[in-house]
Amino acid sequence: MSKQQFKAESKRLLEMMINSIYTQREIFLRELISNASDAIDKIYYRALTDDKIVFDKDHYYIKVIADKASRTLVIRDTGIGMSREELENNLGIIAKSGSLAFKKENEAKDGHDIIGQFGVGFYSAFMVADQVTVISRALDSDTAFKWESEGADGYTIEPCDKADVGTEVILKIKDNTEDDSYDEFLEEYRLRSIIKKYSDFIRYPIKMDVSRSKPKEGSEGEYEQYEEEQTINSLVPIWKKNKSELTTEDYDNFYNEKHYGFDKPIKHIHISVDGAVRYNAILYIPGSMPFDYYTKEYEKGLELYSSGVLIMNKCADLLPDYFSFVKGLVDSEDLSLNISREMLQHDRQLKLIAKNIQSKIKSQLQSLLKDEREKYEEFFKAFGRQLKFGVYSDYGMNKEVLQDLLLFYSSKEKKQVTLDEYVGRMPEDQKYIYYASGESIERIEKLPQTEMVADKGYEILYFTDDIDEFAIKMIATYKDKQFKSVSSGDLGIESDEKDSKEDEAASQNKDLFEAMKTLLADKVKNVRASKRLKSHPVCFSTEGELTIEMEKVLKAMPN
Ligand code: ADP
Ligand code: MG
């Protein structure tokens, strides 16, 4: 029996495909510019092995021309062009990618900057155009061909004239309908911003004729319009440049240009990794807290680029919550994208990158702490709370990463110290890391419970943040030392002699305590002699794991 081929209503299929793949119309321009860039890349790769081809950089560019009067938008490139067969195969067969084939052929060489792979991007033009014309002349060919289509009805190909090698894609932009306007795709400022957004780091110049005005000669106060060809994109992305060529000012400017923030970042981190997964990244630790940082509105994430083309605005998977304050971008050529190139196919590479980034951020924070203490304290003031949340959440899974980055106010130093510093100067007979919780440093200093510990010459960490005690409970022990609240029952410093004296006092005043207990029945659970009061007659304490401060926090939390 002979096999029948599937038949499909190709027009409907094309419409369905285009409209279900892409979430935003504007990406058609990203796709066409990416194709143009690939076409130039192909000449570039040819030139590497073919002496007859000279790759003169000035000759290779992409030009975008909008004409409102004829409602056309042209994307022109000086790339490798297409022969008649290539027009037929690459633009006539949906999901056929000449670029993927090229990449495979050239795998041995350095072909991995080529963007195309799925063979569908071109058709996204039909989201904004009702007719697409492609005029192309292939390298090594004298004749040019014109491919034309109004969608999936089919296409025509005929010979035509074209002076130079390369391709011109002409879109007849759709007329506005009642619900939709397409005029924006003929507006200079709009096209510019789309190019900036998605294609800023295409390696070849993307040029546009931009209208400008200048004072009219001879007549005061009057201006005249003129056109000027401008390169819209930034070409070489800052993250592909050599670190030694860049100054802190360059990084800071990039931070502001990208609108990561209006402040001056505390630190930038420039990463280039060429290992199991290749990627470049530029990350920033902001100088101040975004106004919405500790609210639900705040969205964490890094920009994600694939070979210089923007894929995702905020890729949340790249940052753990406790580093959600980090801004910046990641560019990798190793990502497996899904067909719309708006999402990722597998997250294996992404996970590797995320893990790598996490440890880089950590080590940078550690060196900031070590070498630039003041800056670190500034950072901690803004984002320390998030680190403590990080320790507390996920059942303390992240404490190893984060515990050395924490700072707490110290009774001894009268400033913020790390746990390492605290443990480093503990007297030999001190068993625990002591802490006291309260609303403010002043309040804590007045706590009766701190007196005895302080008298022993032991340092006390002051916890003034809600989350402090919860985080510490997760850490549990640091360098084999347990944490101990000064309000807890057994402080581990009472002497035996004092013990017996107080036991005696307890039994002698048993009746008094009983009476007090009855009087305060609805306020306290027990009244007993304390072993850690000195100049204060009385103090409150709790039994069990929770301290009074923690109970307050838990009570204040919405159920
Ligand atoms: P992809 O870029 O994923 O391969 P497209 O649908 O965007 O898919 O393009 C299909 C193919 O058409 C490309 O692989 C390439 O071979 C060819 N092509 C498209 N645009 C151009 C161009 N401007 N110059 C040369 N070839 C092109
Ligand atoms: Mg493409």
pLDDT tens, the chain, 559 aa long: 777 777 666 777 777 777 788 888 999 999 999 999 999 999 998 888 888 888 888 899 999 999 999 999 999 999 999 999 999 999 988 778 888 888 888 765 565 678 888 888 999 999 999 999 999 999 989 999 999 999 877 899 999 999 999 999 999 999 999 999 999 999 999 999 999 999 999 999 999 999 899 898 888 889 999 999 999 999 888 998 899 999 999 999 899 888 888 899 999 999 999 888 899 999 999 999 998 998 889 999 999 998 888 988 899 999 999 999 999 999 998 888 877 777 777 678 899 999 999 999 999 999 999 999 999 999 999 999 999 999 998 777 889 889 999 999 999 999 999 999 999 999 999 999 999 998 899 999 888 888 888 888 899 999 999 899 999 999 999 999 999 988 876 777 765 445 666 677 777 778 888 888 888 878 777 877 776 666 777 777 766 666 666 676 666 665 4
Using DSSP's 3-state secondary structure scheme, residue 314 falls into: strand
Reading phi first (left if > 0) and then psi (alpha if -120 to 50, else beta), residue 221 is in left
> In this structure, is the dihedral angle defined by the CA atoms of residues 461, 462, 465 and 466, taken in order, positive or negative?
positive
CA 138 to each of CA 42, 64, 79, 162, 405: distance values in angstroms, whole numbers, following the listed order: 12, 20, 9, 10, 59
What pLDDT sits at residue 494? 61
Question: Atom 2 (ligand 1): residue with closest C-alpha?
Answer: 116
The closest ligand to the CA of 90 turns out to be: 1
Say what the pLDDT of residue 430 is: 92
Residue 474's H or E segment, with its range, is: helix 466-475
Nearest atom in ligand 1 to 117's CA: 3
Give me ligand 2 centre to Cα 305, in Å: 16
- Cα separation, 286 vs 386, in Å, equals 14
Instruction: Give 25-67 as a DSSP string.
Output: TTHHHHHHHHHHHHHHHHHHHHHHH-TT----GGG--EEEEEE
160 Cα–ligand 1 center, Å = 20
Nearest ligand, CA of residue 169? Answer: 1
> In the numeric block, which tokens belong to residue 410?
């110290």
Q: H or E element: which one contains 236?
A: none
Contacts of 293 (CB under 8 A, 6+ apart): 325, 382, 383, 386
pLDDT of residue 557: 62
Report H helices in 54-156.
84-86, 92, 98-105
Q: How far is the CA of 169 from the centre of ligand 1 (A)?
A: 11
Give the per-residue pLDDT at 71. Answer: 98
Helix%, strand%, coil% for the chain, nearest 5:
40, 20, 40
What distance in angstroms lies between residue 210's CA and the mean position of ligand 1's atoms?
Answer: 27
Q: Is the CB–ligand 1 distance for residue 485 below 6 Å?
A: no
- The ipTM value here is 0.99
pLDDT score recorded for residue 491? 74
Question: How do 62-67 and 206-215 pair as beta strands?
Answer: parallel
Smallest CA-to-CA distance from 437 within 525, 552, 358, 521 is with 552
d(CA 31, CA 38): 10
For the Cβ of 311 lying below 6 angstroms from any atom of ligand 1, the answer is no
Helices (H), 372-465: 373-392, 399-402, 419-424, 441-445, 448-455
Q: Is 116 in the pocket of ligand 1 (CB under 6 A)?
A: yes
Strand duo 408-410 + 477-478: pairing: unpaired
Ligand found nearest the CA of 77: 1
Q: Which two tokens stand for residue 109?
A: 């060489």
Choose which residue among 14, 30, 35 to substitute to test ligand 1 binding: the one with the highest number of ligand atoms within 8 A of its C-beta. Answer: 35
- For atom 19 of ligand 1, the residue with the nearest CA is 35
- What's the token pair of residue 375? 């800056």
Helix axis angle, 466-475 to 373-392, nearest 10°: 70
What DSSP assignment string belongs to 145-175?
EEEEESSTT-EEEEEE--SSSEEEEEEEEPP
Q: Burial-class residue 376 by CB neighbours within 10 Å (0-12, 13-18, 19+).
A: buried
